[in-house]
Structure 1
Amino acid sequence: MDEKMVHLHIENCSKLGDILETTQERLDRALERHPDIANKVKITMGTDGKGFRDAMSTADALFCWDFERENVTELAPSLRWIHLQGAGVNHLLPLTWVPKDVCLTNSRGVHGERASEYVFMGMLGLNNRLPEMMTNQRKAKWEKLHSSRIRGKTVLIYGVGHVGGDVARIARSFGLRVIGIRRTGKDHEYVDDMYQPQDLAKLLPLADFIVVTAPHTPSTERVFGQDAFDLMKTGAGFVNYSRADLVDYAALQRVLEAGKISAVVDVFDQEPLPETSPLWQTPNLIITPHSSSNDPDHHADRSLDLLFENLGRFIDGRELKNTVDLDQQY
Structure 2
Amino acid sequence: MTERINILTTGRLGEDFQAAVKKEYNPEALKIDYFVEIDQNILDRYDALACFSAGKDLDLGRLDWIHSFGAGVNSFIENPSLNPQIKISRTIGLLGKKMAEYCLCYILAPCKNCISNYENQKNRIWQQGKITDLFSSSVAILGTGEIGRTVAEMISAFHCDVYGINLHGKQYPQFKKCFKLEDFIKNPPQIDILISILPSTESARNLLTKEFFQKLSKLHFINVGRGDVIAEKLLLELLESSIICQATLDVFSSEPLPEDSALWNNPKVVITPHQAAITDIDDIMMSFTQAYEAFKKGENNYLFIKLNRGY
TM-score range, shorter chain: 0.7 to 0.9
Match of residue 117, structure 1, among 96, 101, 113: 101
Match of residue 247, structure 1, among 204, 226, 230: 230
Aligned to 1:46: 35
CA distance in 2, matches of 1:42, 1:68: 25
Quote how far apart the aligned CAs of 1:182 are: 0.8
Q: Does 1:57 align with 2:44?
A: yes
CA distance in 1, matches of 2:71, 2:310: 11
Aligned to 2:70: 86
CA distance in 2, matches of 1:227, 1:9: 46
Aligned to 1:172: 156
Contact residue 56 and residue 79 of structure 2 kept, 8 A? no
Contact residue 22 and residue 300 of structure 1 kept, 8 A? no
Quote how far apart the aligned CAs of 1:30 are: 4.0
Quote how far apart the aligned CAs of 1:206 are: 1.0
Quote how far apart the aligned CAs of 1:91 are: 3.0
Aligned to 2:171: 187
Pair 1:101–1:220, CA change in 2 (3 A): closer
Match of residue 151, structure 1, among 135, 138, 152: 135
Q: Does 1:317 align with 2:306?
A: no
TM-score by length of 2: 0.86
CA distance in 2, matches of 1:38, 1:320: 24
Contact residue 8 and residue 48 of structure 2 kept, 8 A? yes
Quote how far apart the aligned CAs of 1:117 are: 1.0
Quote how far apart the aligned CAs of 1:213 are: 0.8
CA distance in 1, matches of 2:74, 2:82: 14
Quote how far apart the aligned CAs of 1:102 are: 1.8
Alignment RMSD: 2.8
CA distance in 1, matches of 2:289, 2:57: 23
Quote how far apart the aligned CAs of 1:271 are: 1.4
Pair 1:125–1:22, CA change in 2 (3 A): same
CA distance in 1, matches of 2:252, 2:126: 30
TM-score by length of 1: 0.82
Q: Deviations over 1:142-167 (max 9, x none)?
A: 97542332111110111111221111
SS in 2 for 1:294: coil
Task: Give, as a single letter, the amino acid of the residue that structure 1 aligns with 2:299.
Answer: R
Match of residue 14, structure 2, among 18, 22, 25: 22
Task: Give, as a single letter, the amino acid of the residue that structure 2 aligns with 1:329.
Answer: G
Contact residue 221 and residue 246 of structure 1 kept, 8 A? yes
Task: Give, as a single letter, the amino acid of the residue that structure 1 aligns with 2:29.
Answer: K
Count, aligned residues: 305
Match of residue 161, structure 1, among 126, 141, 145: 145
The 5-angstrom pairing of residues 32-43 of structure 1 reads: 32=23, 34-35=24-25, 37-43=26-32
CA distance in 1, matches of 2:300, 2:253: 35
Aligned to 1:17: none
Q: Deviations over 1:51-76 (max 9, x none)?
A: x4344333121112214555434xx3
The 5-angstrom pairing of residues 144-293 of structure 1 reads: 144-201=128-185, 204-234=188-218, 236-260=219-243, 261-293=245-277
SS in 2 for 1:82: strand
CA distance in 2, matches of 1:256, 1:134: 23
SS in 1 for 2:164: strand
Task: Give, as a single letter, the amino acid of the residue that structure 2 aligns with 1:81.
Answer: W
Contact residue 65 and residue 88 of structure 2 kept, 8 A? yes
CA distance in 2, matches of 1:128, 1:262: 14
Match of residue 128, structure 1, among 109, 112, 116: 112
Pair 1:223–1:101, CA change in 2 (3 A): closer
Structure 1 residue runs without a partner (length 5+): 14-19
Aligned to 2:4: 5
Contact residue 110 and residue 303 of structure 1 kept, 8 A? no
Quote how far apart the aligned CAs of 1:39 are: 3.9
- Segment drifting more, 284-293 vs 219-228: 219-228
Aligned to 1:16: none
Task: Give, as a single letter, the amino acid of the residue that structure 1 aligns with 2:8.
Answer: H
Quote how far apart the aligned CAs of 1:257 are: 2.7
Quote how far apart the aligned CAs of 1:95 are: 5.3
